[in-house]
Amino acid sequence: MTPRSLSLHPSNLPRLLPLLLRIVQSLSILPTELPEPLRMVPSLSMRPTLLPELFRTVPSESILPMEDPVLFRTVPSSNFPIEEPELSRKVPSLSILPIEEPELFRTVIDEQARAGAANRRAMRARIRICDSGRRLRLARYMSAHQDSIELANIELEAIVGILDFERTTPQPVILDLKLFADLDPCGDSGDLALGVDYATVLAQVRAVVEEGRWRLIESMALALCSLFLAKPAEGESRAVVERVDIRIRKPKILGGIAIPGIHVSRSANWCVLQRTELGGDAYADRLVQPSSGGAWRVHVAPSAFWDLPQHCAALVLAGEFDDLSVGSRIPRGGRTLVNIGEGPATALVLGRLHE
Calpha distance 312→314 (Å, rounded): 7
Calpha distance 62→48 (Å, rounded): 25
Amino acid making up residue 216: L
* CATH number of this structure's domain 148-350: 3.30.1130.10
- pLDDT, residue 354, reads 73
CATH 3.30.1130.10 in the chain: give the residue spans: 148-350
Calpha distance 293→39 (Å, rounded): 92
Query: Which residue has better confidence, 28 or 176?
Result: 176
The continuous run of DSSP H or E covering 203 comes out as helix 198-212
pLDDT digits (tens, 9 = 90+) for 70-87: 444 555 555 544 444 444
- pLDDT, residue 98, reads 47
- pLDDT, residue 63, reads 47
Contact 323, 339 (CB under 8 A): no
Contact 186, 195 (CB under 8 A): yes
Contact 223, 277 (CB under 8 A): no
In a 10 Å sphere around its CB, with 0-12 CB exposed, 13-18 middle and 19+ buried, how is residue 147 labelled?
middle
Contact 207, 329 (CB under 8 A): yes
Amino acid making up residue 164: D
Query: Which residue has better confidence, 6 or 114?
Result: 114
Contact 105, 97 (CB under 8 A): yes
- pLDDT, residue 129, reads 62
- pLDDT, residue 279, reads 85
Calpha distance 221→158 (Å, rounded): 13
Calpha distance 298→344 (Å, rounded): 10
Query: Which residue has better confidence, 299 or 48?
Result: 299
Please, which pLDDT band fits residue 65 given cuts at 50, 70 and 90?
very low
For the cut 70, the answer to whether the pLDDT of residue 270 exceeds it is yes
Over residues 53-70, mean pLDDT: 48
Instruction: Write phi, then psi, for 312 (nearest 5 degrees).
Output: -120, 145
Query: Which residue has better confidence, 122 or 330?
Result: 330
Calpha distance 71→278 (Å, rounded): 73
For the cut 60, the answer to whether the pLDDT of residue 42 exceeds it is no
Please, which pLDDT band fits residue 134 given cuts at 50, 70 and 90?
low
Calpha distance 228→273 (Å, rounded): 12
Over residues 87-105, mean pLDDT: 49
For the cut 50, the answer to whether the pLDDT of residue 241 exceeds it is yes
Q: How far is CA 8 from CA 13, 35, 248, in A?
A: 7, 28, 104
- pLDDT, residue 338, reads 94
Contact 306, 336 (CB under 8 A): yes
Mean pLDDT lowest among 97-101, 251-255, 338-342: 97-101
For the cut 60, the answer to whether the pLDDT of residue 197 exceeds it is yes
- pLDDT, residue 5, reads 54
Query: Which residue has better confidence, 176 or 102?
Result: 176
**To the nearest whole number, what is the mean pLDDT of the chain?**
78
For the cut 60, the answer to whether the pLDDT of residue 99 exceeds it is no
Over residues 126-143, mean pLDDT: 58
